[in-house]
Amino acid sequence: MLEATNLYSYYGKSPVLQDIGFHLDKGQILTVLGRNGVGKTTLMRTFMGLTDRMTGRLMFNGKDISAMRTSERAMLGIGYIPQGREVIPRFTVRENILMGCYARPDGKRVLPEFVFELFPILKEFMDRRGGDLSGGQQQQLAIARALAMDPKLLVLDEPTEGIQPNIVQQIHDVIIRLNREFGITIVVVEQNVPFARRVSDRFLVIDKGRVALTGAGADLTDEVAEKHLTF
């Protein structure tokens, strides 16, 4: 489903990511862990083509997407939920979700009902502006927006960062449901080691722009966390 080989990604002339390689099968969950500033977000942005330049190979669903523009990658079915949510502040909740549909190759423009079953609060706030929602609500909206495009792969960058604990739980549950019930392949940047261990089929620990360690979810032991994730 998603495969990187010998991937380098640059901001200006500095290679922020170096020699990244991994592969992820359809229907799996990949968690990406690492300390602050090691390149996790850059890796997510590289999937979407938002860094200045990349070299190496990036395959999605059997196609080489490394030279594609961002909007084309979206059209292939990669739903990106960036760090900091980035909902459109002056759009209503409805418009924000509708915007997700613009990445549908079939041209449909309907709000998917199951989104409101996952996040009932959004139905209630349909006509509020995105910028007026709380952080947790914005995160739910950002996920809803990505689901409106009927994605094959969801890329979530720290979806629970800075969010109140009861919503963190809800978002974790939704991620699991989307994977188990809807069969969506998921890449998620996550700081919470127990959660990562519980849900991951594969994990990737990044350090200084390189893959420090990779393995199956169960290999993500406390010793590993101690060694790579504490300061």
Partner 1 sequence: MDAILNQAFAGLSMASILLIVALGLAIIYGSMGVINLAHGEFVMLGAYAAWAMQSFLGFSILVSLPFIFVAIAVVGWVVERGVVHRLYRRPLDTILATWGIGIVLQQLVRMFIGPESLFVATPTILEGNTVIGAVVMSNYRLFVIAFAVAVLAATWGLMTRTEFGTRLRAVIQNREISECYGIRAEKVYATTFAYGAGLAGVAGALLTPLVSTTPSMGTYLVVDAFLVVIIGGVGSLIGTAVAAGAVGEATALFSMLMNDTLGRIAVLLAIILLIRFRPNGLFPQTIRR
Site for partner 1, rule CB under 8 A: 48, 50, 69-71, 74-75, 80, 82, 86, 88-91, 95, 98-100, 102-104, 109, 131-132, 145, 149
Q: How far is the CB of 138 from partner 1 (least distance, A)?
A: 10
How near is the Cβ of 84 to partner 1 at its closest, in Å? 10
Question: Which of 88, 60, 85, 73 is closest to 4 using CA atoms?
Answer: 60
Q: Please identify, using beta-carbon distances, which residue of 11 and 102 lies nearer to partner 1.
A: 102
Question: Given the complex with partner 1, which of 148 and 175 has the nearer CB atom?
Answer: 148
Q: Which CB, 109 or 177, lies closer to partner 1?
A: 109
**How near is the Cβ of 111 to partner 1 at its closest, in Å?**
14
* Nearest distance in Å: CB 24, partner 1: 19
State which residue, 19 or 95, has the beta carbon closest to partner 1: 95
